[in-house]
Amino acid sequence: MVREILIWPDPVLKQKSMAVAKVDDGIRRLLDDMSETMYAADGVGLAAPQVGVLKRCIVIDTSPRQEGQKLLHLVNPVIVKGEGETTYTEGCLSIPGESEDVDRFAKVWVRALDYAGKEFEVEADELLAIALQHETDHLEGTVFVDHLSSLKRELIRRRMKKLKAEHASEKPGDVKKAAHHESAL
């Protein structure tokens, strides 16, 4: 089921998500809904708080823009190591139409539970490394604009408020259509 994506600024997007005690059918349903929602919005990553659920769950699929990748479900993800530096122009499904350069680790190692609740580790570079850092940020209540200067952030905040006001009379799905960006995370 495609869920509604919260648009920043929203108080839920500022909250820290809670660890998942057990990967059960309820969590798998959430992960399925999240990947369906991500694909419907043409995104390459989505974190549970973006659909209003404060649980440490993320889905990522960078395969449209990175060779050898596939859909990843990560529950309770932890960045165990980061290396190098890179700058990437990031977008976010919760901040439609906006994109800015953000400094990140070039390479990360992340440990998480998979769809079956089994622990695994992923070594990532390029877009997958960016997506993992962007989505784990969401679980801490941080969005990419929090990495920008306050001037840039306030300009984006103003545009988002205008966008929300324009769409207030429409169905939530219409805002989603505005979300398209080549690296929406």
Number of residues lying near Ni ion (CB under 5 A): 2
Instruction: Check: CB of residue 45 under 8 Å from CB of residue 138.
Output: no
Of 3-22, which residues contact Ni ion (CB under 5 A)? none
State the minimum distance, in angstroms, from the CB of residue 97 to Ni ion. Answer: 13
185 sits near Ni ion (criterion: CB under 5 A) = yes
Distances in Å between the Cα of 98 and the Cα atoms of 70, 141, 182 are 25, 18, 11
Annotation says 121 is catalytic: no
Q: Is residue 41 near Ni ion by the rule CB under 5 A?
A: no
Query: How far apart are CB 21 and Ni ion at their closest, in Å?
Result: 25
Task: Sketch the per residue contact string, 67 through 106, with Ni ion: x for CB under 5 A, - otherwise.
Answer: -------------------------x--------------
Cis omega (within 30 of 0) on the bond before 9?
Answer: yes
What tokens does 141 get?
Answer: 């209540």
Nearest of 67, 42, 66, 84 to residue 185 by alpha carbon = 42
Tokens of 4: 């509604």
User: Among all residues, which ones are annotated catalytic?
Assistant: 135
Footprint of Ni ion (CB under 5 A): 92, 185
